[in-house]
């Protein structure tokens, strides 16, 4: 019985987090567009397939450049989030540069993982600001 309750609590936790993340992307279309690209490139890299990031690294830079304080919903704006957005843009350019210079898959994968973590930090900060 404890296992069933634990599994239910675990599932509810992830469902609530998914709803919150959807709310962030619904309120900020530019972060949704970025998420579409980062998710298909990062998750493929986890499986050892770096072709999507190699194909879409320039698009990821374009989507990062579209992210700005001006188009960010006001309730998300905070110094921490703005600082994280600057870091996201730098890391996105770094990944693209690494792809263009044909660095090793291991190096690209590591940089992409850091970029993905920064993206999730931004989504988390949006959730905090909205509260």
pLDDT of residue 3: 56
Contact 63, 37 (CB under 8 A): yes
pTM of this prediction? 0.80
Can you tell me the distance from the alpha carbon of 79 to that of 129, in angstroms, rounded to the nearest whole number? Answer: 11
pLDDT of residue 7: 45
pLDDT of residue 109: 97
Q: Which one-letter DSSP state was computed for residue 38?
A: H
pLDDT of residue 127: 85
pLDDT of residue 1: 55
Max Cα–Cα distance, the chain, nearest Å = 55
Tokens of 90: 């730098």
Digit-by-digit pLDDT tens for the chain (131 residues) are 555 544 444 444 444 444 445 578 889 999 999 999 999 999 999 999 999 999 999 999 999 999 999 999 999 999 999 999 999 999 999 999 999 999 999 999 999 999 999 999 999 998 876 65
Contact 129, 85 (CB under 8 A): no
């Amino acid at each position: 019985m404890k296992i069933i309750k634990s599994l239910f609590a675990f599932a509810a936790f992830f469902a609530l987090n998914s709803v919150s993340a959807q709310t962030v992307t619904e309120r900020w279309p530019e972060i949704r567009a970025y998420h579409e690209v980062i998710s298909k490139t990062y998750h493929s890299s986890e499986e050892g397939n770096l072709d999507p990031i190699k194909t879409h690294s320039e698009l990821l830079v374009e989507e990062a450049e579209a992210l700005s304080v001006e188009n960010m919903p006001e309730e998300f704006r905070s110094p921490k989030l703005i600082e994280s957005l600057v870091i996201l843009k730098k890391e996105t350019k770094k990944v693209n540069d690494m792809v263009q210079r044909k660095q090793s898959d291991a190096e690209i994968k590591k940089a992409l993982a850091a970029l993905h973590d920064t993206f999730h930090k931004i989504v988390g900060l949006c959730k905090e600001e909205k509260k």
